[in-house]
Amino acid sequence: MAAALENELEVDNEDYYSLLNVRREATQEELKSSYRRLCMLYHPDKHRDPELKKQAEQLFTYVHQAYEVLSDPQSRAIYDIFGKKGLEVEGWEVVEKKRTPAEIREEYERLQRERDERRLQQRTNPKGTISVGIDATDLFDRYEEDFEDVPGGGFPHIEINRMHISQSIEAPLTTSDTAVLSGSLSTHDGNGGGNINLCVRRVTSARGWGELEFGAGDIRGPLFGMKVFRNVTARCFVTAQWGLQFSSRGVRPSATTMMARHLDQNTMGYLQWRWGSPSAMTTSIVRDTKTSHFTLALQLVVPHSYLMMSYQYKFQDEDQTKVKGSIKTGFFGTLVEYGAERKISRHSVVAATVSIGVPQGVSLKIRLNRASQTYLFPIHLTDQILPSAVFYATVGPLAIYLAVQKLIIMPYVRAQKEQELEKQKEVSASEITRRKQEAEAAVLLMQESVKRIIDAEESKMGLLILNAWYGKFVSDNSQKRESAKVIDVTVPLQCLVKDSKLILTEASKAGLPGFYDPCVGEEKSLKMLYQFRGAIHQVLSGDTEPLKIPKQSHRIDSET
């Protein structure tokens, strides 16, 4: 049922919390108080006119349904997770409520296709990497005289000198056994090769698992390996790995053991020992929090021992931007890296890293992650450190990203959103009409109650709603020629006034009695002009922002 509900296209505009004007954490007493108030307003026996009586019965039924759901803990839990659909349907029964056979068939096929794709993705978990190495040293370091007599010699020579492609898929065999098939192809300066591996993993218990690996390749030869994972305690685990690599030179054994321990809630400590060619010992501390990631590592190995420290800062923005820097120094030299990472779409992340080292020179690494696929483009710029190479490696990707973001990505995303908005409007056109009619009927039913509330508030110089509008407002300096899409909600808000106070919860105001959504999918707000103790007040509130009036800060000066 959950899968079908998650993919349901129709928008459920009936927010029970908004209809009763209560918080999502509302207690039973708060629900009962709001329910009684609305029952008094919409009770059919209070209206003699047949048309008004009919409308009152309908609204009274809606309020009763909302209270029945929210007052029952089990129904309320289902509603909070799945919405109103979760109370009405089960599995594919949601399709049967479409209007025509064609729509039923189309919706069924779409849901079935998405479910099959999701199941296949979950069962196989495909992962892939494509790496294309580029040699661009001719851009910054060349002898001009070497090209004087060569046709086309005035253009720098840029070539692809290495490529690597790898792919893996998983196949669950039983509830505890999984097979992983992977393969890779590599080429470097005209020479290349590949290998294929089969790994079978068994989960032995909640505390550990083990796996066997078999591989073969045209360069390294057959491979046999074994790996074991075990949780020693709640804060500590160990892994051990053994392998035998067969080649024309004989058999090369290897072994690796790692122990990890939680030092605190956000910090892990690792100690690793590797025996083989070459043998090494590595210790590292990794601290990962909501806003940062820090790593400190020390490796002892002949002849490439090193000390490495890296830091990554995570911005708390919508695009999940991250900036990072690291320094690595050892017997091989020193390497400094810095870069940034940013989410460019729902499933895509782009990153760029500049590497400056002695004796490595200057390199630029560009990475694109699309779902479970990774594309890498390491570009070697110079063999030595040149200021021009560092400058262009830093500024170039940033300028290209900003240009692509502004000229391609943003217009594309904007067009997609507008398309989805138009489609959503078409799908929910009849729903909007129904909600509008219900809101107009509710306003008519409120008239007598509003008159009594206004008389009571005027007698004590209390809270009077002079004007109120809800919807999309357009500023005077708006660059687009678009009209405001608002509705008058003065009467519904005055009806909610009690003891010279008006309290609105954080739910969307479109679900309040007498309200409806005049601009589906667009940003909305509530603009209100009210009087309290003879003074004029004004407030502008977001659609889902809680609001409590009157407030001194809303008061308008007499001069204004």
The helix-helix angle for 50-71 and 73-82 (nearest 10°) equals: 100
Q: Residue 420: what are its φ and ψ, rounded to 5°?
A: -65, -40
Place of tokens 């129709």: 10
Strand 127-135, strand 373-382: pairing = parallel
d(CA 251, CA 433): 77
User: Pick from 336, 338, 342: which is nearest to 314 by CA?
Assistant: 342
Helix extents (H) in 323-409? 387-404
Dihedral sign, Cα of residue 496, residue 501, residue 504, residue 509? positive
CA 266 vs CA 246, 285, 322: distances in Å: 41, 11, 18
Q: Which of 519, 534, 400, 445 is nearest to 46 (CA)?
A: 445
List the structure tokens of 72. Answer: 């029952």
Question: What is the distance, to the nearest Å, from the Cα of residue 82 to the centroid of all Cα atoms in its chain?
Answer: 19
For the chain, the distance separating the N- and C-terminal CA atoms, rounded to the nearest angstrom, is 57
Give the residue carrying structure tokens 């505890």: 176
- Helices marked H in 314-428: 387-404, 410-427
CB 306 within 8 A of CB 286: no
Question: In angstroms, rounded to a whole number, what is the distance separating the alpha carbons of residues 89 and 103?
Answer: 17
> How does pLDDT run along the chain (560 residues), one tens digit per residue?
333 333 333 334 467 888 888 888 888 888 888 888 888 877 877 777 777 777 788 888 888 888 888 888 877 776 776 677 656 544 434 444 444 445 545 655 665 666 666 665 556 678 899 999 999 888 887 655 554 555 555 677 888 989 999 999 888 888 888 899 999 999 988 788 889 999 999 998 888 999 999 999 877 788 999 999 999 998 999 999 999 988 878 888 999 999 999 999 999 999 999 998 788 999 999 999 999 999 999 999 877 899 999 999 999 888 889 999 999 999 888 999 999 999 887 788 999 999 999 888 999 999 999 888 999 999 999 988 999 999 999 999 899 888 988 888 888 888 888 888 777 777 667 778 888 888 888 888 888 889 999 999 999 999 999 999 999 887 655 444 455 688 999 999 999 998 999 999 888 888 888 898 888 778 899 999 999 998 999 999 998 889 999 999 999 876 55
Give 31's strand partners: none
Where in 146-291 does DSSP place strands (E)? 159-172, 177-188, 191-205, 208-217, 223-233, 236-247, 250-264, 267-275, 280-288
| CA angle, residues 450, 452, 457, in degrees to nearest 5 | 90
Q: Which helix (H) or strand (E) is 435 found in, with range?
A: helix 429-459
